[in-house]
Structure 1
C-alpha cells in the first residue's frame, strides 16, 4: 500500500520499521470460532417485509392471459404487456406446475424478456418456479436492464428448481427509473422449467440494502468508524483534518460536472466526487457511530444505503457489526471490501485489515465464509495485466471504462474457496485459477461483494494535513474505471 508509511519504500528504513513493529507490537492472529447458525431476529430479518413500495402496474403477472403453444421464439401479449418468449411457451397440461390454468414453460437456454419498461423502477421481484413433470432439476436467473434492453445484469443468485410444487424465489433488484426484466434458463439442458406469478414492486428506496439518494441515484456509505484515518491513512471522502463527519463539506449539492476532487479533503475524495457527478449520494459513518442493520432508530442503519464501502479497517468488527454487515449483503446490499498487505497495523492494536476481514468471514453468527474467499497474509508490489478475459463482465468493461491493468504498491493476495467468488485480476505470473488473485467479485443471498487487497489504487493523493499520500487513482488508467464500475455494479446500476 503506497501510503502506509513513506519509509516502507526505502529498504533500510523498512527493515527498521519492521523490526520496531515486531518487537513493539506483535501481530495477533485472529482465532476463528465456530459460527452459530442462528442470527439475531432483528438483524436477520429481510427488510423487504417493511418496504412501503407499491406493486408495479400490470403485476402480478399470472401468465393467464395470452396464448403461445410453440417453443419457437416469438412475442406474446400478457396481462402486464408484450414479452418475447425464446425456447418457451405457455403450458396448460397436467404436468405443468401452475397456480391457475397455465404458466410459462422454458427449455434449453430459453428466455422470457419484457418488451416494455417498468417506468417506476423495480424493487423486490418474486417469481414462482418448479421443474416440469418428471424432468430433472433446472437452473435459472433473473436479469435486469436499465437501458431499454440494450444490456442486462444478473440480479442475485442462480436459482435451482428441483421440486414439482411451485416455490417462490425473491430478488432485490432496486433499480430506479426505467427497468425491464429477463428470466434466463442457464443449464442449457432439455429439462423443462415452469414459471408463474411474477410480482414486481416499484422502487422507492425503502427496501433493505437499496437506499436512494436525493438525486434519485443510490446512497453510498463510506466507513470511518474503524480507524480508517489512523496513522498515515485517510480512507474517507472528507476527513476535515482527521475528523470524519457524516456529510462531507462543502455540500455535495454544489458539485457540478467540472468540480475537482479537491472539493473534499480525503484520500477517497476523487472516487466520492465522481459518484455524486453520476447522480448518487455519499455519506460517511463517523468515528464512534454504530454499524447496524434493521435498527429503525439509527439514521445511518445500513438498510438506508445501497453500498457500504470499507477501506482498510484497522479495528475488529464487533459480533453485532459482523452480523449487520453480512445480513445487509444477504438481503440485497453491496459491500466494497478493501484490504492491505500483511503486517499493516496502523494503530498498533494487534490487528491489520487482512486479519480483520478474515475474522468477519470466519467468525460470525450468520454463515462461515459467506463470500467464498479469504485474504492471504502476503505482501506484493507489481503491476499486472493478467485480467480475466470476459468482454461481458461489467466490472472489467462497464460504463466507466475498461480495466486492463492493476498496480499494487504493497498489497495482499486472495484465495477463492467457492464458485460464488470470481477472481478478476491475478498476479502477472499466476495462472487464472483460485489463488494469487488481486481482486474478486462475489454474491451472497441477493447482495453483491467486491474485494481488492491494496488501498493504493483508490488513493487520490489528497488528505488531512501532514499525511503523506500517493496518487494511485490516476497512476494507472484502469484504477478509476475499476472502482467506479464496481460501485455501480454493487449498487445494481449496471
Structure 2
C-alpha cells in the first residue's frame, strides 16, 4: 500500500550482525507460525536491564508488511538492542493479556491489521496505567493489508470508519463468526484513554521538517531535523493535558495517490495534526507515529500470505533522521517517571486540540463517520481467508 520511495544500498545486509536472534535462520519457504519459538535479540554492549516486546499477533505480516524483528523491522529491533535493551516478539494465536505485557518496559505495535478485542484493550490500558509504555505505529487510511476492511488507524482508534454500529459491516457470515471478530466493539478507545486519535487522512511522500524543540519534546527530538513519510497519516490531539505533538509536516497539499477522500485535511502544518506524538497516562506512557515507512528496512522474512509472492520493503529506517527519532522515542518510553499527565510538567507548553472535520466524507465524529469507498479496496484472492491461517500460502507467517 506504500508509494515506492528511494531505496538505499547495503553492503553487508545482516551478515555482520553482532546480535543474537533466538530463531534459526530459516528460509522463507519454511516460515514459522505462532506455535514456533519467538525470536529475540540480546542487548548489544552494556545491558540496561530493560525489555521491549513487539506485537506479532494482529496481522503484522499481512500483505506487503513484514513488521517483525527478524524481518522488515530488524534494523529498528537491532537499534533498540544496540541501546542496551532485550527485544522479543510476541507470538501467539490467542488474545493479548496483561500477563503477556507486564514483564516488559515497552510494547511496540507495528501496524495492526486485525482489530483489538475489548479484553485486549483493557489489558493494554491496565499495562500502561501500571507503568508500562506502548508505541503505536500506524499508516494511512485504507492501508488494509489483509483486506478485512480494518486498517491500523482503525484498529488503534477502536472503531472502523463508517461502521460504528457494526464493526463487522459488510463481512460474510463466516468472517463475522470468526474468532478474530469475537469481542470486538466500537469505542473511541484511543482518544478516551490516551488523548489522541489517528486521523483517517492519507498524505503522500513528504519530509516532516516541523520539529518541536527538544526542550518542549522532553528531549525526544534531540538530533532530529527531518522524518520521512511515504503515504501516511497524522494524529489529532484530543486531550492536551495527556498528549502532545512532537513532529509535524510542513504546509502541503500532497495526498497519497489512492486516497479515497481529499487525503489532506487541513493543508498540512500544525492544523493537520502531528505526524508523531506522545502521551502520559497514569504511571505509563505512549507514543504514536502515522506511518510505518520510517521504521521498515529491506530484509523481509516472509512471503505474502494471500498470494505467496515475494515482498518488497524499503530502507526507511536509514532515511532522514528516522532512526534517531525512533530510538529516542523508545528511550523516553522506557524511562519510568512519576507524573501522570503532561500538564503536570513545569514549563511544558501544552498543545491546543486539533481542529476536526465534522461534515462530508471526512467527518471525524466517530459515530457519524462514513465509508467513502466500498471496502475492502480489492477482492481477496480465491481461497484466501484473512482470519484462517490454514488458507495462507506456503512461506508466509502462520503457514
Q: TM-score, normalised by structure 1?
A: 0.47
> Residues 389, 452 of structure 1: CA spacing in aligned structure 2 closer, same or farther, 3 A cutoff?
same
Alignment equivalent of 2:158, drawn from 346, 359, 367: 359
Deviation at 1:337, TM superposition (A): 0.3
Aligned counterpart, 1:409: 230
Looking at structure 1, the residues matched to 189 and 154 of structure 2 have their Cα atoms a distance apart, in angstroms, of 19
Q: Which has the larger radius of gyration?
A: 1
* 1:204-227 deviation line (CA, Å, top 9, x unaligned): xxxxxxxx9894521100000001
Q: Does 1:427 align with 2:249?
A: yes
> Residues 409, 368 of structure 1: CA spacing in aligned structure 2 closer, same or farther, 3 A cutoff?
closer
> Residues 316, 471 of structure 1: CA spacing in aligned structure 2 closer, same or farther, 3 A cutoff?
same
Q: Does 1:290 align with 2:95?
A: yes
Aligned counterpart, 1:467: 311
Q: Does 1:441 align with 2:246?
A: no
Aligned counterpart, 1:272: 77
SS at match of 1:461: coil
Looking at structure 1, the residues matched to 91 and 78 of structure 2 have their Cα atoms a distance apart, in angstroms, of 18
Looking at structure 1, the residues matched to 319 and 122 of structure 2 have their Cα atoms a distance apart, in angstroms, of 36
Aligned counterpart, 1:387: 211
Deviation at 1:446, TM superposition (A): 1.1
* 1:116-155 deviation line (CA, Å, top 9, x unaligned): xxxxxxxxxxxxxxxxxxxxxxxxxxxxxxxxxxxxxxxx
Aligned counterpart, 1:234: 66
Aligned counterpart, 1:14: none
Aligned counterpart, 1:201: none
Q: TM-score, normalised by structure 2?
A: 0.58
Deviation at 1:435, TM superposition (A): 3.9
Aligned counterpart, 1:328: 127
Structure 1 stretches of 5 or more lacking a match?
Answer: 11-211, 239-265, 296-300
Deviation at 1:407, TM superposition (A): 1.2
Q: Does 1:489 align with 2:332?
A: yes
- Judge which range, 431-440 or 323-332, deviates more: 431-440
Q: Does 1:479 align with 2:300?
A: no
> Residues 397, 368 of structure 1: CA spacing in aligned structure 2 closer, same or farther, 3 A cutoff?
closer
> Residues 353, 378 of structure 1: CA spacing in aligned structure 2 closer, same or farther, 3 A cutoff?
same
Q: Does 1:454 align with 2:277?
A: no
Contact 2:190 2:196 in 1 (8 A): no
Alignment equivalent of 1:371, drawn from 188, 194, 198: 194
> Residues 493, 472 of structure 1: CA spacing in aligned structure 2 closer, same or farther, 3 A cutoff?
farther
> Residues 366, 228 of structure 1: CA spacing in aligned structure 2 closer, same or farther, 3 A cutoff?
closer
SS at match of 1:370: helix
**Which structure's relative contact order is higher, taking Cα pairs within 8 Å and 6+ residues apart?**
2
Looking at structure 2, the residues matched to 436 and 272 of structure 1 have their Cα atoms a distance apart, in angstroms, of 28
Contact 1:227 1:313 in 2 (8 A): yes
SS at match of 2:102: helix
Contact 1:424 1:441 in 2 (8 A): yes
Structure 2 stretches of 5 or more lacking a match?
Answer: 6-41, 161-184, 252-266, 303-309, 338-399
Looking at structure 2, the residues matched to 475 and 368 of structure 1 have their Cα atoms a distance apart, in angstroms, of 30
Aligned counterpart, 1:281: 86
Name the Cα RMSD after superposition.
2.8
Deviation at 1:370, TM superposition (A): 1.1
**Residues 119-138 of structure 1: pairs in structure 2 closer than 5 A:** none
Q: Does 1:306 align with 2:130?
A: no
Looking at structure 2, the residues matched to 346 and 484 of structure 1 have their Cα atoms a distance apart, in angstroms, of 26
Between structures 1 and 2, the one with greater strand share: 1
SS at match of 1:356: helix
- Aligned residue pairs total 251
